[in-house]
Amino acid sequence: MTMQDNLPTLRWGIIGTGLVASWFVSDIILSRPDAKARHIIKAVGSSMVVKGIEVVEKNCPEQRTKVYGNYYEVYDDPEVDIVYIATPHALHKKNCIDAIQRGKNVLCEKPLAINKAEAQVLVDLAKAKNVFLMEGVWTRYTPLVARLKELIHVEHIIGEVSRVFVDFGLDMNLQDLPSDSRLKSPELGKIILDTGLGLESTQPSIAASQSVVDGMDYISSVILTYPGKTPRQGILTCSLCYKTAPEFMRIEGSHGSILVSGQAASYPDTIVVRHKDESKRDESLSFSHVGFGFYYEADAAALDILNGRKNNSLLPLDETLFMLNLMDNVRAIGGLVYPQDG
């Protein structure tokens, strides 16, 4: 990693050539006035060279990116500082292990692994090899989420929070997908891992229900009840059968509520604060940015690596393990079993 134009420069190797990988590549090289780092795509690894070439030509044609016909050459490339892994869920463990064993820093698209046991192996290996490891929950790094946390936890604008509703629904038309689709393969991981349901790191009690068809979780509903004197619940749902409405989150507190909306739950752009006190007007905050916003997490990774940190404070590995343990418990209640669970 080097310093260039007063910004740290991070050199990336990309593993996988699917849609999310192409979004990530095009996003992190965008020119931005608020950039905290400069990102270079040094290598792309794909099982099919032609797909790697397509990703480079479409998303980073001026980067002089090398395309390899396997992942190992990316891991072994001395010009790659960090590997971004965007393969199907079930491959994350092996891909991360291979990269970490070769001394590479890793940003792995969510989920880090299929279950907590797999993720613990990766966390322990990263510590042993003294490399940076981070799960790619990219929306956590956006300005909207930062402002939301300030409103709730610093300004206490809606007082004591008692209930949170979140829905993440996609209309995937599952019945018409081919049988070999990732979304219909129990071996590759499911929607509850795609959406990354979660609320906070305090251990809650869990009630859950899942509609599982042929090993697929089409719909999941989770109620998290948190301990303490003040009643608190998180009601979290996800679906592959119907797209979430623009207003996908509501946070209720003793002094009012906060609504979060956007063109998708993965692309929020508006916060509305509603006060119980009728003398106060509702407040609306809009957030916009170029691209998807993957560059916020890429910048965070760059600054961590520059400063010698092996873990990210906004999404520490302990929280990743906590969330996967929660997911394991939800699946146990709902009856959803992955082949990797043993």
2-137+294-311 and 140-289+324-341 agree in CATH topology: no
Q: Distance of CA 176 to CAs 32, 171, 184, 199, Å?
A: 40, 12, 11, 33
- pLDDT 10s digit of each residue in the chain, 342 long? 655 568 999 999 999 999 999 999 999 999 999 999 999 999 999 989 999 999 999 999 999 999 999 999 999 999 999 999 999 999 999 999 999 999 999 999 999 999 999 999 999 999 999 999 999 999 999 999 999 999 999 999 999 999 999 999 888 776 666 665 555 554 444 555 554 444 455 789 999 999 988 778 889 999 999 988 888 999 999 998 899 999 999 999 999 999 999 988 888 999 999 999 999 999 999 998 899 999 999 999 999 999 999 999 999 999 999 999 999 999 999 888 887 886
**Residue 340 amino acid letter:** Q
CATH number of 140-289+324-341: 3.30.360.10
CATH of 2-137+294-311, one of 3.30.930.10, 2.40.110.10, 2.40.30.10, 3.40.50.720: 3.40.50.720
Closest CA to 295 of 38, 77, 120, 89: 38
Give the tokens for residue 169.
């629904």
Domain boundaries, the chain: 2-137+294-311, 140-289+324-341
**Calpha distance 132→126 (Å, rounded):** 7
Question: pLDDT (tens digit, 9 = 90+) per residue, 180-198?
Answer: 555 555 444 455 555 444 4
Question: pLDDT (tens digit, 9 = 90+) per residue, 256-298?
Answer: 999 999 988 888 999 999 999 999 999 999 998 899 999 999 9
